[in-house]
Amino acid sequence: MADVTVGVRGRVLEVVLKRGKVNAIDAATSRALGAAFEQLQEDDGLSVGIVTAEGRFFSAGWDLKAAQEGEDPEADMGPGGFAGLTEFWGLTKPVIAAVNGTALGGGFELALSADMIVAAEGAEFGLPETSIGLVPDSGGVIRLPRRLPRAVAMEMLMTARRAPAAELLRWGVINAVVPADALMSEARALADRVAACAPLSLRAVKEIARATEGLTEQEAFARMRAGGLEAYGRLYDSADAKEGVAAVMEKRSPVWTGR
């Protein structure tokens, strides 16, 4: 059985991690995940991706067994970095993490690198690296303090405490917590709502949000207006912008072309 399977449902790419009991991720699995996200980026017929896993674990993160057997921490994880997504800066399409179970270390970092997170009831999230002499340097130490109040993030980072999905929902880190048997239907419904929107608009939203993160409001407006943001620069003269206005005036659903 392949460690990573990929399926297409309409304009949605679904990526499923299937690697042993805890879905640990080695370099080869990172590259396979990266290839799936590259497919999402390159296929004009796709608007959004879902990444999920089979079993009780979403992912336990870095494959420590592979590391113990000699896999170099600096091994080639592919252009998207660990898990194929944590450093995929060129990905302009949204990704939803459907977290089916425990997400630890790099598994939590994979979820944090998605744009939205839907979690099953009972799912737990944690960054245990400091308890084993490591650091969550595939995004956890950077992204978590930007999503949580700093004190809460530092507690999780410095004590290896696991947080239940319900707690992270309250903090706004994740979008929804649902019964396990409803996880994929919830993630797919969210993906379908995303896919109903204009592809170029989706790209522009992600592009602007990424380019202005950490800036003041004035700095962010200046960055957005300065030019150089490819999707945003194309947006208002695009066929889809004209189609969207026409659809409103004609009281019909728009037909997007991504141009």
**DSSP codes of every residue in 63-85:** -HHHHHTT--TTS---TT-GGGT
Question: Is residue 129 flagged as an active site residue?
Answer: yes
Between the CA of residue 155 and those of 116, 126, 151, 163, what are the distances in Å?
23, 11, 6, 11
Cα of first residue to Cα of last residue in the chain, in angstroms, is: 38
Which phi and psi (to 5°) does residue 256 adopt? -85, 145
Which residues, 6+ apart, have CB-to-CB distance to 70 below 8 Å?
A: none
Cβ atoms of 188 and 50 within 8 Å: the answer is: yes
Cβ atoms of 107 and 114 within 8 Å: the answer is: no
CA distance 175 to 28: 30
Which residue of the set 14, 87, 124, 129 is catalytic? 129
Which residue of the set 109, 124, 186, 207 is catalytic? 109
Cβ atoms of 59 and 24 within 8 Å: the answer is: yes
Question: Is residue 109 flagged as an active site residue?
Answer: yes
Question: Active-site positions?
Answer: 109, 129
